[in-house]
């Protein structure tokens, strides 16, 4: 491992040694994002236990588009899944 020392005496590890995680992976695995998706599905009329179960697997935008066109929430969810 290569390090260099800054003027303040801090050691800095070269960037090549840092393992980066793609942003979409961080977002996908975030519990805050999951909770937000659950809230969006709840607002659209999907019942609480069901919205928790499907929040990570459906595109809520597609569900919302169908609901806003008059499709019942559960049917919209079924169509999107």
In a domain, 34, yes or no: yes
pLDDT for residue 30: 78
pLDDT of 33 reads 86
pLDDT of res. 32? 85
Residue 13 located in a structural domain? no
Q: Is residue 7 part of a domain?
A: no
Instruction: Show the domain range for 47.
Output: 21-80
Total number of domains in the chain: 1
What does the pLDDT read at residue 63?
A: 95
What is the residue whose two structure tokens read 């935008």?
Answer: 61
Q: Count how many residues are written for the chain.
A: 81
- In the DSSP assignment, the letter for residue 4 is E
Answer whether residue 54 is part of any domain: yes
**CA 69 and chain centroid, separation:** 25
Q: Which run of H or E residues covers position 5?
A: strand 3-5
Is pTM beyond 0.85? Reply is no
d(CA 62, CA 77): 9
Alpha-helical regions (H) of 11-59: 23-28, 31-44, 48-54
Classify residue 5: in a domain, yes or no.
no
pLDDT tens per residue, the chain (81 residues)? 555 555 555 555 554 566 666 666 656 657 888 899 999 999 999 999 999 999 999 999 999 999 999 999 999 999 998
């Amino acid at each position: 491992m290569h390090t260099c020392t800054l003027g303040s005496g801090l050691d800095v590890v070269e960037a090549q040694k840092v393992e980066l995680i793609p942003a979409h992976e961080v977002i996908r695995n975030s519990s805050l994002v999951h909770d937000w998706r659950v809230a969006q599905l709840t607002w659209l009329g999907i019942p609480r236990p069901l919205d928790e179960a499907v929040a990570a697997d459906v595109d809520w935008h597609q569900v919302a588009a169908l609901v806003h066109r008059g499709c019942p929430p559960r049917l919209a969810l079924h169509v999107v899944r």
